[in-house]
Amino acid sequence: MNLEFWQSRWYEGRIGFHKSAVNPLLTQYFSELDLPIGSQIFVPLCGKSVDMVWLAAQGYDVVGVELSEIAVEAFFAEQNITPTIHQYSDNPAIKYYQGQFTSQTTEQTITLWIADIFAVTSKDIGHVDAVYDRAALIALPATIRSAYAEQILRICGKSNDNNKKAPQLLITLDYDQTKKDGPPFSVTNTQVEQYYGNHYQIIALKSNTSTLNSAKELTVTEDVWLLKDL
């Protein structure tokens, strides 16, 4: 993963990938994960996504990993949450911010690690009940996606209490990569099977095709997947 690329995007404010509204696919399909209230959701490459606020408001704890400290600081500032900053004793380059999301109905913990996704472990992240991947897999070039999928399994592939893999709600984009440079990168159905087929039952929940720009030169298919333990 090109760490300098993402750091510079946040530093320069070139974050067109950030959405100010909650992803409607999350609100529509999150129930497919069938999680009890109080579960912890892992959000890899989380940025300052407001999807994490929505998850907390539903009664779930959130743990994320993000490369840019600018993004993490912005998340807590924009949500009016005062976090506690913890320096990671085993690696001075890693820290995490932890704060409480409070509403009239719930109080949940949001923990955001500032680190390369490949530098954290299951011990760091702690218990994970499910993964929400809206922007991580598609942010990575094909050369490292298999390694990323394996890392996600190492981090949270086994639930602490039932020895099953944590399910995932995964959103991907599929388009002609020769017509547009990523990120976000195109991820085909075949590649999803390649990355996760040996570990999960892969269920297609939705597929929506649209065109980008007025000339309708690029056709993009957005797919929503539920990955369940075999």
Least confident range of 15-19, 63-67, 125-129, 145-149? 15-19
Task: Provide the mean pLDDT of the chain.
Answer: 89
Least confident range of 44-58, 72-86, 205-219? 205-219
CA distance 32 to 19: 23
* Domains and their CATH numbers in the chain: 3-229 (3.40.50.150)
Q: 127: exposed, middle or buried (C-beta count within 10 Å: 0-12, 13-18, 19+)?
A: middle
- pLDDT over 70 at 78, yes or no: yes
- pLDDT over 70 at 13, yes or no: no
Token digits of residue 170: 């995964």
CA distance 15 to 6: 9
pLDDT band for position 1 (50/70/90)? low
Which residue type sits at 126?
G
pLDDT at residue 77 in the model: 96
- pTM for the full predicted model: 0.92
Mean pLDDT score, 11-20: 63
- pLDDT over 60 at 41, yes or no: yes
Token digits of residue 50: 């407001």
pLDDT band for position 52 (50/70/90)? very high
Mean pLDDT score, 202-216: 82
Which region, left, alpha or beta, applies to residue 199 given φ > 0 means left and ψ of -120 to 50 means alpha? alpha
Which residue type sits at 127?
H
What are φ and ψ of residue 162, in 5° steps?
-130, 5
pLDDT at residue 160 in the model: 46
- pLDDT over 70 at 162, yes or no: no
pLDDT at residue 2 in the model: 64
